Structure 1
Amino acid sequence: MKTKPKSAATREVSARGVALDLLARVLEQKRPLEEAFERHPDLPKLENRDRQFVRALTSATLRHLGRIDRIIALCMERPLPNKARAVTDILRLGAAQLLVLGTPAHAAVDSAVALTAQLGGAAGYKGLVNAVLRRIAGEGEALLAQVPPGVASLPDWLWASWVWTYGEEQAAKIAGALLDEPPLDFSVKRPAERAQWAEALHARVMPGGSLRRAAHDPERPQRLDEAPGFAEGAWWVQDFAASLPVKLLGDLVGKRVLDLCAAPGGKTMQLAAAGAIVTALDRSEDRLQRLQQNLDRLGLSAECAAADATRWDAAGDFDIVLLDAPCSSTGTLRRHPDVAWLKDPRDIKKLAAAQNRLIDAAVRLTRPGGTVLYCVCSLQPEEGPERIAAALARHESLRRAPLTEAEVFGLREVLTPEGDLRTLPCHLASEGGMDGFYAARLVKAD
């Protein structure tokens, strides 16, 4: 007996149910969205179109969460009780569809009501869900006008931190740059083939040689492993800003380079492609396995070692130690909007302590006369310039080697007065922006 295919409405409710569960895993269990998405048991049961919808919906909800919550509050007399947290999340998902994704009102509202009915003990909230979302559908523009974009989408602590660090005007530009889906950037293994792959990937060449494809390119395949050049190992995905630190190291041919905290391996691949003799170190064997798979696909080689860098007892004779330290990742909010809701100031303090230990290890493992390059994909000063100031105070053997405008391909705005690299999401705004990155180049005395 043949089973009747599911109706479109049933599939939509199923996809929204998965999105609801993913939102709870991020906001309540503090699990990264990408990890929760990859490991969700129900995702393989959905059609590819529905999986793409789940990703788009959860990402849009998290990207605009602060603003969405304020708009929902305008439509309710009082907040929902804590025991109705799932209903709050249903309202968030519904509002994201109406205000961000442009989902037809009947689909967004009806599916939210149906999803509420499926929740144990929450059926009594169906009327409220229906009323709130219908008001948002009818008064969306007026409600949006009451809650300014950008600033309102961030946790208060993060906005306050950026205002203190960059000033209110620059902080507003950063916050605004996080609201749009970012473009897709590629690093090409062989520089001579950039033009070829730029054409094949519908991309343009950026300063320094990265390729960039627009976020909404109609030719963009849904699966990257189906894109031209993937199977040939011609390129890997790497944000433009993330590609800059390795390019600050000059000629790498034949140099012994240690990539600390290397996984998932974007910088390892850059180093190997540039001719360095690379050792990639990471605590996670699983992440190193993925790094090795990427190297194999690209036909590149590096020695991979699973170890805690602070305890690794290899001889300190590397020409260069690149430390892309674990951090809050607040510079990657364009791509990972969940980060804003996974971290808080307590995490920053813990991460800063770990970064100090890793910098000390990097100095120990660098030969006299060698270079330490410290970088983080964070916008927080505690994880960037403050860590370098502390390292210079601790290690008399270290001195800063300031970067020049030529080394950052004429992008003067990404240089700090001290000569460090500081990219912001609002830099190159007309070109699609970039992730927030900080890097400092240090030299160890002979």
Structure 2
Amino acid sequence: MNNRTSAPDPTPGLPARQAALRMLDAVMRRGESLDVAQHAACQGIDERSDRALAMAIAGEVLRHLPGLDLMIDSMTRLPLAEDAKARMVLRIMLAQTLALETPPHATIATALPLLQGGPRKLAHGVFGSLMRAGATLPAPELPPATANRWMPAWGEPMVEAAGAALGMPPPLDLTLADAAGTDALAQELGGISLIPGHVRLPRGGAVELIPGFEAGGWWVQDIAASLPARLLGTSRGGHVLDLCAAPGGKTMQLAAAGWQVTALDNSEKRLRRLRQNLKRTGLEADTVTANLLEWRPDAQADAVLLDAPCSATGIFRRHPDVLYRIAPRHIEERAEQQAVLLERAANWVKPGGVLVYAVCSLERAEGENVVAQFLSQDSRFTLDPVRADELPDGVAPDALGQVRTLPGMLTDAGGLDGFFMARLRHRP
């Protein structure tokens, strides 16, 4: 029996850097999301602050990766391979010092051990040369593959705005259960409101510490994410199906607006969070754990909200990893699935009822194209154009009455996530 115990690591802070390296490898090489990669990468790290630091390092690398690579390449005679471990460690070193303001000596002490058995001297030399040259944090920019995909779809101003949005932490948006309290809450918390029922605060500390959290009068929800449920308006007990509902922001909106809500999601873990949110807010909804491709309701509903699974490229400000994980083939696969889900959900709407389709994607293939294809194949439905007065100032429906939120909108107020939504009405 071996009674030896492993010696504690002599380098304080090294486990967080090791975790960041593992997370970045999972994103760049295996296509995992940072949220998924964090669980495995942070095994054995008990301190919440260390886990948060690992996420912060990985996130800043992804926000600034093209610029970081240009800096690295400017100091090497021969370019390092894209997947070289030394390149990734140098990215981590530069992100620590230039974005997170870690002193250079601390960066060297905690990052060079990541190259045990590797080219430490090279990494040390490149980093030292950049520090002596007075290197500064490069302006965020989109990966070339993403920029090349979005340029023909949305134009150069959107691509430039998206790059700028990468470097601006998104503000904190609150959705209120009772819109009548908007002005009072905004004044109490020192925030602004962009539409009744919404208050925006600067990004800051823990949400649980914001006054009013326990009272349950509001919940966190990006303003763009709150728009699809708004398109269904208020109800006096009409039945609505909220499909792919977790974590529950739209479910709570609908319940607060007087709908009888059935919230469906295929993740019991996410639905538990939804139920916790319902309990905190005092709102009610029936929850169902099921696969949307297999489940069907007992009867048709007055309204259906389908926030379909998508590439999530519209939430890149919060999740920059999506810019490196999502390729055209992923978008194509999701668009095919969305078409199937939309066709299925349409059968559950009563004649005269409403169906709202939404995705947090900046890809036309998952938004406009899916709806256009659906309407060309299902004569029961027609577009119900969204009115400008249903939206915040600075966001307007397109010529068909659909809504597309893009980087560059509401910039002076802090911006918003990328979304597409369309309201469809079942002919009577």
TM-score if structure 2 supplies the norm length? 0.92
Equivalence for 1:175: 163
CA distance in 2, matches of 1:395, 1:163: 31
Q: Does 1:292 align with 2:275?
A: yes
CA distance in 1, matches of 2:136, 2:12: 32
Deviations 1:334-388 (A, max 9, x none): 0111111111100000000000011101110111111110011111000110111
CA distance in 2, matches of 1:81, 1:174: 27
- Matched residue of 2:275: which SS? helix
Matched letter for residue 204 of structure 1: I
CA distance in 2, matches of 1:96, 1:38: 22
Mean Cα deviation higher: 101-110 or 333-342: 101-110
Equivalence for 1:259: 242
- 1:243-322 correspondence to structure 2 within 5 Å: 243-322=226-305
Unaligned segments of structure 1, at least 5 residues: 1-5
Per the TM alignment, residue 86 of structure 1 is displaced from its structure 2 partner at its CA by: 3.1
Matched letter for residue 195 of structure 2: P
Confirm or deny: 8 A CA contact 1:397 1:444 kept in the other structure.
Answer: yes
Confirm or deny: 8 A CA contact 2:65 2:91 kept in the other structure.
Answer: yes
Matched letter for residue 176 of structure 1: A
Equivalence for 1:114: 113
Confirm or deny: 8 A CA contact 2:314 2:418 kept in the other structure.
Answer: yes
Equivalence for 1:162: 150
Q: Does 1:434 align with 2:422?
A: no
Q: Does 1:184 align with 2:176?
A: no
Per the TM alignment, residue 43 of structure 1 is displaced from its structure 2 partner at its CA by: 6.3
Per the TM alignment, residue 424 of structure 1 is displaced from its structure 2 partner at its CA by: 1.1
Matched letter for residue 201 of structure 2: R
Unaligned segments of structure 2, at least 5 residues: 1-7
Per the TM alignment, residue 322 of structure 1 is displaced from its structure 2 partner at its CA by: 0.4
CA distance in 1, matches of 2:44, 2:178: 36
Per the TM alignment, residue 438 of structure 1 is displaced from its structure 2 partner at its CA by: 0.6
Confirm or deny: 8 A CA contact 1:98 1:137 kept in the other structure.
Answer: no
Confirm or deny: 8 A CA contact 1:98 1:136 kept in the other structure.
Answer: no
CA distance in 1, matches of 2:364, 2:133: 40
CA distance in 2, matches of 1:57, 1:280: 36
Mean Cα deviation higher: 63-72 or 366-375: 63-72
CA distance in 2, matches of 1:250, 1:224: 27
Deviations 1:90-112 (A, max 9, x none): 11111112332333222223322
Per the TM alignment, residue 41 of structure 1 is displaced from its structure 2 partner at its CA by: 4.2
- Matched residue of 1:163: which SS? helix
- 1:363-378 correspondence to structure 2 within 5 Å: 363-378=346-361
CA distance in 1, matches of 2:237, 2:160: 44
Confirm or deny: 8 A CA contact 2:99 2:137 kept in the other structure.
Answer: no
Output the aligned Cα RMSD. 2.2
Equivalence for 1:78: 78
Confirm or deny: 8 A CA contact 2:158 2:407 kept in the other structure.
Answer: no
- Matched residue of 1:207: which SS? coil
- Matched residue of 1:368: which SS? strand
Deviations 1:306-333 (A, max 9, x none): 2222332324521110010111111100
Per the TM alignment, residue 40 of structure 1 is displaced from its structure 2 partner at its CA by: 4.3
Q: Higher helix share goes to which structure?
A: 1
CA distance in 2, matches of 1:270, 1:112: 46
> 1:202/1:256 Cα in 2 relative to 1: closer, same or farther (>3 Å)?
same
Per the TM alignment, residue 131 of structure 1 is displaced from its structure 2 partner at its CA by: 0.9
Equivalence for 2:11: 10
CA distance in 1, matches of 2:258, 2:183: 21
CA distance in 1, matches of 2:69, 2:275: 42
Confirm or deny: 8 A CA contact 1:178 1:425 kept in the other structure.
Answer: no
TM-score if structure 1 supplies the norm length? 0.88
- Matched residue of 2:73: which SS? helix
Q: Does 1:28 align with 2:32?
A: no
- Matched residue of 1:354: which SS? helix
Confirm or deny: 8 A CA contact 1:187 1:235 kept in the other structure.
Answer: yes
- Matched residue of 1:326: which SS? coil
Per the TM alignment, residue 266 of structure 1 is displaced from its structure 2 partner at its CA by: 1.1
Equivalence for 1:89: 88
Deviations 1:419-443 (A, max 9, x none): 1111112211111100011100110
CA distance in 1, matches of 2:101, 2:393: 39
Matched letter for residue 271 of structure 1: L
CA distance in 1, matches of 2:213, 2:40: 24
Per the TM alignment, residue 44 of structure 1 is displaced from its structure 2 partner at its CA by: 4.4
What percentage of residue pairs aligned between the two structures are identical?
Answer: 38
Per the TM alignment, residue 255 of structure 1 is displaced from its structure 2 partner at its CA by: 1.5
Out of 211, 214, 227, the residue aligned to residue 228 of structure 1 is 211
Equivalence for 1:417: 399
- 1:47-86 correspondence to structure 2 within 5 Å: 48-81=48-81, 85-86=84-85
Out of 132, 141, 152, the residue aligned to residue 138 of structure 1 is 132
4+ residue runs of structure 1 moved beyond 6 angstroms?
none
Confirm or deny: 8 A CA contact 2:300 2:350 kept in the other structure.
Answer: yes
Equivalence for 2:200: 212
Matched letter for residue 24 of structure 2: L
> 1:337/1:280 Cα in 2 relative to 1: closer, same or farther (>3 Å)?
same
Confirm or deny: 8 A CA contact 2:397 2:404 kept in the other structure.
Answer: yes
Equivalence for 1:402: 385
Equivalence for 2:3: none
CA distance in 2, matches of 1:10, 1:232: 44
Matched letter for residue 269 of structure 2: D
Mean Cα deviation higher: 316-325 or 371-380: 316-325
Out of 114, 118, 126, the residue aligned to residue 120 of structure 2 is 126
CA distance in 1, matches of 2:361, 2:107: 35
Equivalence for 1:342: 325
> 1:43/1:187 Cα in 2 relative to 1: closer, same or farther (>3 Å)?
farther
Matched letter for residue 274 of structure 2: L
CA distance in 2, matches of 1:129, 1:262: 46
- Matched residue of 1:304: which SS? strand
Per the TM alignment, residue 214 of structure 1 is displaced from its structure 2 partner at its CA by: 1.3
Equivalence for 2:104: 105
CA distance in 1, matches of 2:263, 2:134: 50
Per the TM alignment, residue 253 of structure 1 is displaced from its structure 2 partner at its CA by: 3.0
> 1:51/1:25 Cα in 2 relative to 1: closer, same or farther (>3 Å)?
same
> 1:63/1:414 Cα in 2 relative to 1: closer, same or farther (>3 Å)?
farther
Per the TM alignment, residue 279 of structure 1 is displaced from its structure 2 partner at its CA by: 0.5
